[in-house]
């Protein structure tokens, strides 16, 4: 475990004012998010999340959704350079997908593991270097919050109340303290924040 101190575990997620990562329509309801995800502040945050990361950790749903979208952005010369930079990183980097149902890796440079998120992260921290980014996969983020294994949170807060949908911060999480290390406000009232775990 010599390198474990060098690997930060980071997570990226967008939330409404009422703390939800999707709307009342279910896992695919991002209507409250749509106006904000292509703003300057959101695109700058997208760059921040991957710059130090060498591993992307994804749940199955996100892996399938990302696979259908980002490779085409990586190949699109007319895409916003920040979107394209992230897309190229995602295509080229090591990816680990947590799934109990997926059998074949959906991408190149991808491993599928059927194991608890905390165990996978502990193993990843023991090898290699660079940040391990949990990329918008709320189920994985929740598991790592429960195990107090997250070192950094990249949060986008959108100025809407969804009124329904799934929340990130469930009751029963261990009490933890976080330090705000970066904050940017966009023209539409969206907030990009980076919180580091105070240990």
Tens of pLDDT, residue by residue, the chain (199 residues): 344 457 999 999 999 999 999 999 998 899 999 999 999 999 999 999 999 999 999 999 889 888 889 999 999 999 999 999 999 999 999 999 999 999 889 889 999 999 999 999 999 999 889 999 999 999 999 999 999 999 999 999 999 999 999 999 999 999 999 999 999 999 999 999 999 999 9
Cα torsion angle, 157, 158, 161, 166, sign: negative
- Asked whether the beta carbons of 148 and 133 are under 8 A apart, the reply is no
Backbone dihedral region for residue 128 (phi beyond 0: left; psi -120 to 50: alpha; all else: beta)? left
Query: What letter would DSSP give residue 67?
Result: H
Could you tell me the fold of the domain covering 4-197? Dihydrofolate Reductase, subunit A (3.40.430)
Q: Return the structure tokens found at 170.
A: 């469930």
Beta bridge partners of 20: 167
Domain definitions of the chain by residue range: 4-197
């Amino acid at each position: 475990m010599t390198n474990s101190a060098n690997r930060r575990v980071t997570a990226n997620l967008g939330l409404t004012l009422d703390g939800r990562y999707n709307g009342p329509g279910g896992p695919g309801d991002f209507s409250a998010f749509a106006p904000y995800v292509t703003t300057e502040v959101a695109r700058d945050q997208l760059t921040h999340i991957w710059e130090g990361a060498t591993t992307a950790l994804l749940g199955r749903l996100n892996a399938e959704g990302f696979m259908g979208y980002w490779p085409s952005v990586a190949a699109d010369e007319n895409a916003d350079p920040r979107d394209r930079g992230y897309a190229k990183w995602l295509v080229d980097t090591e990816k680990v997908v947590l799934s109990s149902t997926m059998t074949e890796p959906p991408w190149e440079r991808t491993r599928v593991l059927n194991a608890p998120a905390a165990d996978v992260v502990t193993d990843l921290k023991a090898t290699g270097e660079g940040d391990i980014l949990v990329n918008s996969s709320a189920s994985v983020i929740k598991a790592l919050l429960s195990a107090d294994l997250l070192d950094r949170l990249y949060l986008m807060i959108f100025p809407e109340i969804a009124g329904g949908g799934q929340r990130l911060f469930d009751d029963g999480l261990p009490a933890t303290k976080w330090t705000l290390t970066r904050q940017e406000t966009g023209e539409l009232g969206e907030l990009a924040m980076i919180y580091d775990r105070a240990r």
